[in-house]
Structure 1
C-alpha cells in the first residue's frame, strides 16, 4: 500500500476517534480503594480503576498531578501504594482510562485517609446496654481530646476490623453523634471511629477502642435460587444456591436446606462465605416440591435466620401431559386480555389437582390454581410486549409424594408490537436465466394466516401459502421483492415487510449478426455454384448458350464443388471402365495440373477446357459422346 493510502487510513481513524470523542463514547471510569480508603500508616493498599469496555491504558493522578500510567487488557488497572505515609500519600486520587489516542474524563475523586498521626478518640453508646432488640434506636458518640481547632477535622464511624467507613460527619465541636435508627440484625457488629483533617494531607488519628453492638432477634432471611432452572427433566442434576446478607458479626455459619412436608432437614453445610450450594443429583418426579434454606451462627447464641422465600421445584413425568389453549388466540394486540387454559387429558379425570402456568425463561411459575374441574384458566391482563413468549403448564397432586404430569406442548403467544420480521429467500438463486422457474419463500411464524408478496413498481400478490412461484421468468421479472404476513383474518393487521431481495434474470443468448451474415453469404454462393454447374452440364439451356465457356470454366474452379466430372445424360449410367477410359484420354491430351489440398479437407477440381472446345467443333462426335455430370458434395 502506498503512502497516500496509509495516510488516508490514518486520517480516517483519527476522524473516527474524534467522532467518538464528540459523541462521548468514553465514559468516566470508577476508582475505589481495596478494601477501605482508611488505611493505617506503613501499610500497603490498592487503588483500582475500572474503565469502559475496550479500555487498554490507565492513569492515576494525585491532587490533579500525574502519578502513574499502566497498560491493561481487562478494562481495569490496580495501582499499588506501598508503605503509605500520612504526609505523602494521604491525598485525593482520581484516574482516567484510554483507548487509542483518546482519554476519558477523570473519575470521581477518592480521599485516602492515613491513620496514626493523632491520638485516638473515645467512643461510647448512648444506651446503657450494648445489647439491643431489632427495631430499637441508638446513638454512638465519637470525640477528640482537647483539639483547639476542631473545625479543621471530620469524624468517621468505621467497621472495626476492615476500617470501612459507615458514616462521616464534619465537626461542629469536639465530638459528633452517629445515629442508628431502628437497628437491624445487619447493624450488629464491632465499631470504632477516627477523626482526620479535612484538607490535604488527610492525616487521621489512631482508631478508637472497639465497641461491640448486639442486636437480638432472628437473623435476616437468605435468598434461594436454582440452577439451571425450576423445571428440570427426570434424572437431571440441579443445584440450589443459598446466600445470606453480609453481617460483620458473623464469621462462619451453617446453611440448611429444607423441603416442605419433610421434617428431617436436607444436607447442611458450614461456610464462612456469603453463599453455598446444594446439589440434587438425578432428580425424580418425587423431588418436586417447595424448598427453602436457613443459616445460623456456629458460635455464641447460635441464632438462626428466618427461612428464605419458597422455591417450587418441578420434575415432570408421572402423569400424562395436559393441553394448553389460548383465547381469543395466539396473536393479540397490546392492552388486550388473553386467557390460557390448561386441561387434563380426557383419560385422567383426577380431582383436587394443582395446575401451574410456566413461561420459558421466567425464574418462577407465573400462576397456580386448584380448580374444582379438570381445567384451570390463567388470565393475562392488558398484555404488552413483555408478555410475548413460550408458555406451558402442568398439574400435580396437592400432597406428598407430589406426582407431577409431563409438561404440556409449548404455546407461543405473540403481541403485535413484538412480532418478528419476515425474511424472503429465492430458489434456485437470486440470479437465474430467462425461462427458469423461481420459487420465492416468505418465512414467518408457523401460525401466519396469509402471506403477501410485493414487487417494486408492481401490484401485490396475496395467498395462503408462503411459497410464491414465478414461472418462465423474463428480464421483466427482475427487480426488488419483499414480503409480509398476516397473523389473523383482520386484513388491516399486517406486519412489517422483509428486507428487499433483488432478483436478476439474464436475457437469452443471441446469435451474433456477423455469424448470420456469413452463413447466408455461404449458402447463397453454394446455390450459385450449383446453378452454374447445371448450365454447363446441360448446354441446351438458354443461359448456358449465352455464357462464354472458358470464363464459365474458370468461374467453376472454386472450393464450392468437390468433383468436376459429369455423369451420363441418358438414363443408363456408364460403367466404371468407360468413365475411367474417358478420364484417361482427357488426361493424356492435357498436361496434368496438381490439385491443391485445402487445409479444411475440400478437394478442388480442374476442367480440361481444350476437351470442351474439341467437342463443340464436332457435333456428331459430341452427340455420341456420353455426357458427364459433376457430383457435388457439401460437408
Structure 2
C-alpha cells in the first residue's frame, strides 16, 4: 500500500500541497517523502493522469519571495522563467506518450540561490496500447456510513507483470486517490470507515513503472453510495460579526469536497424562524448569502446546511452557529485596562467593560472584540453592570485595538461599541517618528519645532542628539529658538512605556537638522571685511608712497602726520633729505633774505614760483604750451 492509505479515505477538502502528494505517480517509495522547508511543491492540473493529446499545466509553488523557477524532466533542465509571484505555470500542449509521459521536478530560487528539487511527479498518458482493467466493489456499492469498502482493479493474466502500478481514480476528474504496486494480478484498494462524502463514481488504471509512463484507459465506472449525513459545512461572515446598522453583510457557506461532484443545494437558517431564509443551488464548494443593509432585527444566530441533488439525496449536518450582532440599539459601554494599557510580555492585564447604570439593562451579555478578528474573543453574562475579561501572559500578538459591546438576548438589542482601547506589549511597541516644523533646513536665527510622534497614551518623551545631552520632557514638541550652526546635527527621539521610568522604546529614525547662515548675514560680514581690507590698503599706500611737496608749505609736518604714524622718525627724515632738488617747493624769492629795507613792506606779500625749465622750453619751442602747473603761495609777514 502507498502512503495515501495512512491519511484516511475520502476526497475531503485538501490544500494544494496535499493534492500534490496525492498526485505523485512515481514509485510508491517516493509518495510519502516529506518536503523540506525550502522545497517547492509541484502538481498537475487537471490531473497527472490524462489522455493522449490533452493539455496539462504543471504548477510549481515556492516560498514567498521566490520569483525564479525551473522545470526539470528526467533529470534535465527544460525551462526557466521569472514570475512576479511565488507560483509558476508550465503548460504542456497536446501531450504525447513518448515525449511527455515522464518524471518532472521543479525548483525555485531568488538571485543566485536555488532551492532543493521538488518530489518527482510522474505524468501518465493513457493510450490504447493496454487493455482496460475491470473494477469491483465489496461488500456492496451501497453501504452504511463507517463501513470498510474494498475496490478491486483486475487485469488479464497476460498483462500480469511486476512492471506496472495501479491507480484508483475519481471517475470524472481523474484525480488520483490511491496507488498500488502489482504484487498479484488483482490488487485491492481499501476504503476504511467510509462516510457520506465518499459517495461517488470511481475507476482505475494501470501504467508502466518506468518512463515513459504509458497507461491504460480507465476501467468502467463503479458507483459507491454511502448512507448517512454529509459532513457539516462552515459558515463565516464578511466584514465581521459585529456591524453597524446599514452595513451590507455576506454570509459564506462552504462544504468539504465530495467524491461526487454533483450539484448541491445550500440552505441558510436563522434560529427562531420556521422557514429557511434562502436556498441556492451550486456545484462549487461554497456559496454566498447576501444580507443588504442589515437592521437590529437581523441580529441573531445563523446556520447553513447542504443537500446532495443526486438520487441519494443525502443531507449534511448543520454548521456551527454564527452570532450576528447589529449595533446601535443600546447606549455604548466603556472599556478600561487594569493595571494599564502598556504590558510587559508574560504579564496579565484585565479589560473591564462597563455599561451605563440603567436598571433595565441588568443581566446583559458582554462581548469582548478585537479589531481585525472575525470572531468575538470572550463572552460573559455577569450579575452586575460590568464584566471583566482577563488577558493572561500577554504576548506580542495580543497587542492591538479592543472594544466591547453588550446585548439583551431576548430583544435582539446590541449596544454601540465602546471607544477603542489600544493595548501595547512592550516588545511590540511601535517605533516613534520625528519630524521638523516648518522644515529640517532652516536659516540661522529662526525657530524650529521637533515633533516626536508616538501612541496617544504616551506622556513622556526624550530627544536625542549625537554628541549632546538628552532632553526629557512631558510634551512631544521640542522648541529650538534662534538656532545657530551648533544646533545642526542628527536627532532622534523615544517615548516612555507606561509608568516605569526605565522602560523606553527604541529610537526613531534619525532626522538631520541643518542650520544655514542667512544671505544677509553673509553680505554684511563680507562688506565689513572688504571695507577693513580697503582701509588697510589705503594706509599702506600712504605709508609707502611719496607725497608731493606742493601740497602745503608745511610739507615736513604734513608728511610726518601721514608717514610717521606708521614708520619711525628716522625713516621719515631720511626720506625727506633725499628728495630731488628739481621738485623742491619754494616759498622764498631768493636763497638769501635781503637786508632790511627802509621802504615799508605790506604784511601780505604774494610770491610767485617760476619754473625755469618751462621758461627755457618756451624759448626753444614757443609753439608748445607747458603742461606744468604754476604754484602760488601767500605768506603773511608780521
Change in CA separation of 1:59 and 1:442 when aligned onto 2, cut-off 3 Å:
closer
Tell me, in whole angstroms, the C-alpha distance in 2 between the residues paired with 1:453 and 1:423.
11
In structure 1, the gaps of 5 or more residues are 1-25, 527-531, 556-606, 621-635
SS state of the match for residue 386, structure 1? helix
8 Å CA contact retained: 1:147, 1:174: no
2:532 aligned to which of 488, 491, 516:
516
User: Is it true that 1:77 corresponds to 2:89 in the alignment?
Assistant: yes
Change in CA separation of 1:148 and 1:256 when aligned onto 2, cut-off 3 Å:
closer
User: Is it true that 1:293 corresponds to 2:340 in the alignment?
Assistant: no
2:495 aligned to which of 485, 490, 493:
485
User: Is it true that 1:120 corresponds to 2:132 in the alignment?
Assistant: yes
User: Is it true that 1:500 corresponds to 2:516 in the alignment?
Assistant: no
User: Is it true that 1:242 corresponds to 2:258 in the alignment?
Assistant: no
8 Å CA contact retained: 1:46, 1:81: yes
- Indicate the residue corresponding to 1:144 in structure 2: 155
Report the alpha carbon displacement of residue 56 of structure 1 after superposing the two structures with TM. Answer: 8.3
User: Is it true that 1:269 corresponds to 2:285 in the alignment?
Assistant: no
Report the alpha carbon displacement of residue 461 of structure 1 after superposing the two structures with TM. Answer: 1.8
Tell me, in whole angstroms, the C-alpha distance in 2 between the residues paired with 1:468 and 1:54.
42
Report the alpha carbon displacement of residue 30 of structure 1 after superposing the two structures with TM. Answer: 4.3
- Indicate the residue corresponding to 1:475 in structure 2: 485
- Indicate the residue corresponding to 1:260 in structure 2: 271
User: Is it true that 1:176 corresponds to 2:187 in the alignment?
Assistant: yes
8 Å CA contact retained: 1:312, 1:364: no
SS state of the match for residue 244, structure 2? coil
- Indicate the residue corresponding to 2:435 in structure 1: 425
- 1:154-169 equivalences under 5 Å are 154-169=165-180
Tell me, in whole angstroms, the C-alpha distance in 2 between the residues paired with 1:231 and 1:144.
60
Tell me, in whole angstroms, the C-alpha distance in 1 between the residues paired with 2:480 and 2:108.
58
1:219 aligned to which of 224, 227, 230:
230
Change in CA separation of 1:45 and 1:444 when aligned onto 2, cut-off 3 Å:
same
TM-score, structure 2 length as denominator? 0.74
Report the alpha carbon displacement of residue 359 of structure 1 after superposing the two structures with TM. Answer: 0.4
Change in CA separation of 1:471 and 1:546 when aligned onto 2, cut-off 3 Å:
closer
SS state of the match for residue 129, structure 2? strand
Tell me, in whole angstroms, the C-alpha distance in 2 between the residues paired with 1:59 and 1:285.
56
Tell me, in whole angstroms, the C-alpha distance in 2 between the residues paired with 1:432 and 1:370.
60
8 Å CA contact retained: 2:364, 2:407: yes
8 Å CA contact retained: 1:477, 1:505: yes
TM-score, structure 1 length as denominator? 0.74
8 Å CA contact retained: 1:33, 1:45: no
8 Å CA contact retained: 2:447, 2:479: yes
Tell me, in whole angstroms, the C-alpha distance in 2 between the residues paired with 1:453 and 1:250.
66
1:371-421 residue CA offsets vs partner (Å, 9 max, x unmatched): 111111111111101110000111111114x11111110000000010011
8 Å CA contact retained: 1:192, 1:209: yes
Higher deviation after alignment, 413-422 or 66-75: 66-75
- Indicate the residue corresponding to 1:90 in structure 2: 101
1:314-366 residue CA offsets vs partner (Å, 9 max, x unmatched): 22111111111111110011111111111112357512211111100001111
SS state of the match for residue 197, structure 2? helix
User: Is it true that 1:384 corresponds to 2:400 in the alignment?
Assistant: no
Tell me, in whole angstroms, the C-alpha distance in 2 between the residues paired with 1:67 and 1:438.
63
Report the alpha carbon displacement of residue 146 of structure 1 after superposing the two structures with TM. Answer: 0.9
Report the alpha carbon displacement of residue 141 of structure 1 after superposing the two structures with TM. Answer: 2.2
8 Å CA contact retained: 2:363, 2:385: no
Tell me, in whole angstroms, the C-alpha distance in 2 between the residues paired with 1:493 and 1:314.
40
- Indicate the residue corresponding to 2:33 in structure 1: none
Change in CA separation of 1:522 and 1:422 when aligned onto 2, cut-off 3 Å:
same
Tell me, in whole angstroms, the C-alpha distance in 2 between the residues paired with 1:384 and 1:459.
34
Report the alpha carbon displacement of residue 96 of structure 1 after superposing the two structures with TM. Answer: 5.9
Tell me, in whole angstroms, the C-alpha distance in 2 between the residues paired with 1:61 and 1:542.
110
Higher deviation after alignment, 507-516 or 240-249: 507-516
- 1:165-204 equivalences under 5 Å are 165-204=176-215
Tell me, in whole angstroms, the C-alpha distance in 1 between the residues paired with 2:494 and 2:469.
14
- 1:598-609 equivalences under 5 Å are none
SS state of the match for residue 493, structure 1? coil
Change in CA separation of 1:479 and 1:81 when aligned onto 2, cut-off 3 Å:
closer
Report the alpha carbon displacement of residue 429 of structure 1 after superposing the two structures with TM. Answer: 3.1
SS state of the match for residue 328, structure 2? coil
Change in CA separation of 1:47 and 1:31 when aligned onto 2, cut-off 3 Å:
farther
1:580-634 residue CA offsets vs partner (Å, 9 max, x unmatched): xxxxxxxxxxxxxxxxxxxxxxxxxxx996554xx43x759xxxxxxxxxxxxxx
8 Å CA contact retained: 2:235, 2:304: yes
8 Å CA contact retained: 2:328, 2:415: yes
TM-align CA RMSD: 4.0
User: Is it true that 1:50 corresponds to 2:60 in the alignment?
Assistant: yes
Tell me, in whole angstroms, the C-alpha distance in 2 between the residues paired with 1:457 and 1:357.
48
Number of aligned residues: 536
- 1:104-115 equivalences under 5 Å are 106-115=117-126
1:51-81 residue CA offsets vs partner (Å, 9 max, x unmatched): 6579888765543456677887775334234
Tell me, in whole angstroms, the C-alpha distance in 1 between the residues paired with 2:253 and 2:117.
39
Report the alpha carbon displacement of residue 148 of structure 1 after superposing the two structures with TM. Answer: 6.6
Report the alpha carbon displacement of residue 369 of structure 1 after superposing the two structures with TM. Answer: 1.1
SS state of the match for residue 162, structure 2? helix
Tell me, in whole angstroms, the C-alpha distance in 2 between the residues paired with 1:469 and 1:72.
51
8 Å CA contact retained: 1:423, 1:498: yes
